[in-house]
Amino acid sequence: MNKLLSASLMCADLTKIEESVVELKNAGIDYLHIDIMDGSFVPNITLGFDFVNAIKSITDVPLDVHMMVNEPSRFIDRMNLGKEDIICVHYESDVHIHRTLAQIKDKGIKAGLAVNPQTAVESFRYLTDYMDMALVMTVSPGFAGQKIFAGAERKTNDTRELLNELGCTEIPIEVDGNISLENGRKLSKCGADIFVLGTSGLFVKDKSIKQASEDFRKVL
């Protein structure tokens, strides 16, 4: 499966976001990752639905919306997304997550299912019919600049093994959190396909976005 890069916009320079989006597109970034947080499911509040719609209106780069909010089904209709975009919801955020995944897919948008570090890989087992992507969080979500958790490689590997066992070889695995060059290289070997790049791998001091993305692709 192709290895894809998803740029975490919460780590971009928000004071010149349009410029950053153009620079990301020119650097060949595959997705724009937009983290939505409600201050309750995770102890932070970042980007919102108006931001999603604004970004959607200025670029044709597909959006990868990561909803770290409780009861995400309440908000799916707030975003003007299309068949090339992904909405990723957390297993832990909704007592009827299957219904929410189906709601996303019924709108013709790709549906991703995310799991926090402590949530078992088995959580994916009975939901793969409603999934276009599995998001394995490699940090506890909520903040940029954190350190990858110790079980990230094993968990990524176990997720790939489970999906393959179920015949879901076409469901990609996204990893999100402290995806540095070194962590990206290791996780790629464990079966990761989509890499959320933030302060660890893309928005880094001494490199342009183009240089950082080229360097990252070299290790995959």
Q: Which amino acid is at 64?
A: D
Q: Which residue is catalytic, options 35, 38, 85, 132?
A: 35
Q: Which of 177, 190, 192, 194 binds ligand DX5 (CB under 6 A)?
A: 177
B/e letters for 112-143, b = 16+ CB within 10 Å, e = fewer, are bbbbbbebebebbeebbebbbbbbbbbbebbb
38, 94, 132, 176: the active-site residue? 176
The DSSP code for 190 is T
Distances (CA, A) of 1 to 53, 161, 193: 29, 15, 7
Binding partner of residue 145 among Zn ion, ligand DX5, none, CB under 5 to 8 Å per kind?
Answer: ligand DX5
Binding mask 44-83 for Zn ion (x = CB under 5 A): ----------------------x-----------------
Q: Does 90 bind Zn ion (CB under 5 A)?
A: no
Pattern 56-85, ligand DX5, x by CB under 6 A:
----------x-------------------
Q: Does 176 bind Zn ion (CB under 5 A)?
A: yes
Q: One symbol per residue from 37 to 56: x for binding ligand DX5 (CB under 6 A), - otherwise; what is it? A: --------------------
Q: Which residue is nearest to ligand DX5 (CB)?
A: 198
Contact 136, 173 (CB under 8 A): yes
Footprint of ligand DX5 on 180-199 (CB under 6 A) = 196, 198-199
Nearest to 5, CA basis, from 212, 196, 134, 154: 196
Residue corresponding to tokens 């799916």: 76
Q: How far apart are CA 28 and CA 30, in angstroms?
A: 6
Catalytic annotation, residues: 35, 176
Binding site for Zn ion (CB under 5 A): 35, 66, 176
